[in-house]
Amino acid sequence: MSNELIQRVRTVIANTQRIPVEKITVDSSFQELGIDSMDGVNILFALENEFDITIPDEAAKQIRDVRQVIEGVEKLIGGGTADAAPVTS
């Protein structure tokens, strides 16, 4: 989990949620940050654009905190798949 990656993810979340980046730590939960399901979908969209990745719906459903976001993005930009299996049907 590189510092650069953490910063980029925090910035995306801050810009999307329109909150100061300082409020966002690796350990922040979505609930603490006031991120509801629609906000979460918006953040995933911004992350897909920022990192040029595709986040599967199944992985998206399980994300509850910033750490999971960073780990998920890390896997996807590393050429791997996200936590959950990609949609196959």
Partner 1 sequence: MHRVAVTGIGVICALGRTADDFCRALREGRSGIAPIQSADCATLRFRNGAEVIGYDYHPHFDDKRADFIDRFAQFAVIAAREAVGDAGIEWTPELRESSAIITGSCVGGQATEDIGFYNVYKMGQTRVHPLTIPKTMANAGASHISMDFGITGPSYTISTACSSATHAIGQAFWMVRSGMAPLAITGGSEAPFSFGILKAWEALRVVSPDTCRPFSKDRSGMILGEGGAMLVLEPLEAARARGARIHAEIVGFGMSSDACHITQPSADGAARAMRAAVCDAHLMPEAIGYINAHGTGTQANDVTETSAVRTVFGPHAERLAVSSTKSMHGHALGAAGAIEAMAAILALRDGFLPPTANFTAPDPDCDLDVVPNTSRPAEVEYALSNSFAFGGLNAVLAFRR
Residues of this chain that interact with partner 1 (CB under 8 A) are 36-38, 41, 44-45, 56-57, 60-61, 87-89
Count Cβ atoms within 10 A of the Cβ of residue 1 and give its class: 0-12 exposed, 13-18 middle, 19 or more buried.
Answer: exposed
CA distance 85 to 5: 23
Smallest separation (angstroms) from partner 1 to the CB of 89: 5
For the chain, the maximum distance between any two Cα atoms, rounded to a whole number of angstroms, is 40
Q: Which is nearer to partner 1, 53 or 56 (CB)?
A: 56
For the bound state, the minimum distance from the C-beta of residue 66 to partner 1, rounded and expressed in Å, comes to 19
Q: How far is the CB of 7 from partner 1 (least distance, A)?
A: 26
